[in-house]
Structure 1
Amino acid sequence: MTDYQQLYETSAVNTGGRDGVSYLADGTYEVKITTPKDMGGSGEGQNPEQLFALGYGACFHGALELVKGKHKVKNASQVLHTVRLYKKQDAADFKLEVEIQVGIQDFDRDETQKLADEAHTVCPYSKAVAGNIDVFVKAVDYDASQEK
């Protein structure tokens, strides 16, 4: 990391694992963690996969905005991250997979794919999971109904 200058640091604490509480060490955010109903839990809180999707989505979209700026693209964009958890049969062996769908307003899918692929090369989350998690980046049509 000698070529990099640290920009930010944060710490989080978890008690209780998948059925507990996670919070930022500085006390600014806390979330109840529960096992999803699909996995036999109550599903009443959030789960690690949901939080990973939120974090990766925000980070990837930030990288996409950086790439769009480099190419002088001002069109609105949206990113959908789908995180899937898999378990190997008859083993306590788990694996994640991520699908990233990227839409850019008034861009065709080929143009969008080029920018999305470039964002994938600069996104810190994408770099962190490279070689460990299967990640699929896919251009889709921009969906204005998803704007908030």
Structure 2
Amino acid sequence: MTEQQLIDVKNDFQVEIEKVLYTGTVRITGGREGKAKSSDDRLEINLSTPGGTGAGTNPEQLFAAGWSACFIGAMRHNAPRLSIIIPNDVAIDAEVDLATNYDGFCLQARLNVSLPGLSPEQALALVEAAHETCPYSKTTRGNINVQINVSM
């Protein structure tokens, strides 16, 4: 058995948690050129560097997929309260950029949300509500550049 040490991560604030609903557990080996496997064996993928020749996906694509799925879930969560019926063909084309700045590596993102059949007012209300409730949006708020484009 290996010895473990706790690293105290310094945060500007601590979020108070009432109840943990789910914990996703994934083991990564080999970094950007490695493999990812979830503890429940539902995810097992190869990883590769963005733009590289590897056959796997990369963390930016995984983040874009997770955020998009969660954002659609947040729209579905808010729709009844807003008396809006979400179209069956709702879609998000997410773009996550790996970039650099004065502080080293960073991310920025664009969510291109398609809500066919909704009025501009309905689409905007739904997307604004989702951006306030989606955990990924909360995590990125104030930390990375985010642009949300809505089409009907």
When normalised by structure 2's length, the TM-score is 0.80
1:125 and 1:72 mapped to 2: Cα distance? Answer: 24
1:80 equivalent in structure 2: 93
Unaligned 5+ residue runs, structure 2? 1-14
Pick the aligned partner of 2:27 from 13, 18, 28. Answer: 13
Pick the aligned partner of 1:115 from 126, 129, 141. Answer: 126
Pick the aligned partner of 1:55 from 43, 62, 66. Answer: 66
Q: Deviations over 1:8-33 (max 9, x none)?
A: 11211111110000110232211100
SS across alignment from 1:5 = coil
Pick the aligned partner of 2:38 from 24, 44, 49. Answer: 24
SS across alignment from 1:28 = coil
| Cα 1:116/1:20, change in 2 over 3 Å | same
Unaligned 5+ residue runs, structure 1? 142-148
Provide the aligned C-alpha RMSD in A: 1.8
Kept in 2, the 8 Å contact 1:113–1:138? The answer is: no
SS across alignment from 1:117 = helix
1:75 and 1:99 mapped to 2: Cα distance? Answer: 21
2:105 equivalent in structure 1: 94
When normalised by structure 1's length, the TM-score is 0.82
The amino acid of 1:83's aligned partner reads: V
Kept in 2, the 8 Å contact 1:35–1:47? The answer is: yes
Pick the aligned partner of 1:36 from 28, 50, 59. Answer: 50
Paired residues, number: 136
Structure 1 residue 101, shift from structure 2 partner: 1.7
